[in-house]
Amino acid sequence: MLESMTPADPLGEALHFLRMSGTFYCRSEFTAPWALALPPMDNCLMLHVVTAGACRLEVDGAAPSVLRTGDLALVPHGEGHVLSCGAGALPGQLFDLPRERVGDRYELLRHGGGGAATSMICAAVRFDHPAARRLLEALPRVIRVDAWESPEKEWLQSTLRLIVAEAQTLRAGGETVITRLADILVVQAIRSWMASDPAAGTGWLGALRDRQIGRAIALIHRDPGQNWSVASLAREVGMSRSAFAARFTQRVGEPAMQYVARWKMHAAEAWLRDEATPLAELAGRVGYESEASFSRAFKRFAGVSPGAIRRSAAP
**Per-residue tens of pLDDT for the chain, all 315 residues:** 444 444 567 877 777 777 666 677 888 999 999 999 999 988 789 999 898 899 999 998 888 999 998 888 999 999 999 999 986 788 999 999 999 887 777 788 999 999 999 999 898 888 777 677 778 888 999 999 876 666 666 777 777 778 777 766 666 666 677 777 877 888 888 888 888 888 888 888 889 889 999 999 999 988 999 999 999 999 999 999 999 999 999 999 999 999 999 999 988 988 888 788 899 999 999 999 999 999 999 999 989 999 888 887 665
Amino acid 104: pLDDT:
74
Structural domains of the chain sorted by starting position, each given as residue range(s) with its CATH number in brackets: 11-200 (2.60.120.280), 210-313 (1.10.10.60)
The three state secondary structure string of the chain is: CCHHHCCCCHHHHHHHCCCCCEEEEEEEEEECCCEEEECCCCCCEEEEEEEECEEEEEECCCCCEEEECCEEEEECCCCCEEEECCCCCCCEEHHHCCEEEEECCEEEEEEECCCCEEEEEEEEEECCCHHHHHHHHCCCCCEEEECCCCCCHHHHHHHHHHHHHHHHHCCCCHHHHHHHHHHHHHHHHHHHHHHHCHHHHCHHHHHHHCHHHHHHHHHHHHCCCCCCCHHHHHHHCCCCHHHHHHHHHHHHCCCHHHHHHHHHHHHHHHHHHHCCCCHHHHHHHCCCCCHHHHHHHHHHHHCCCHHHHHHHHCC
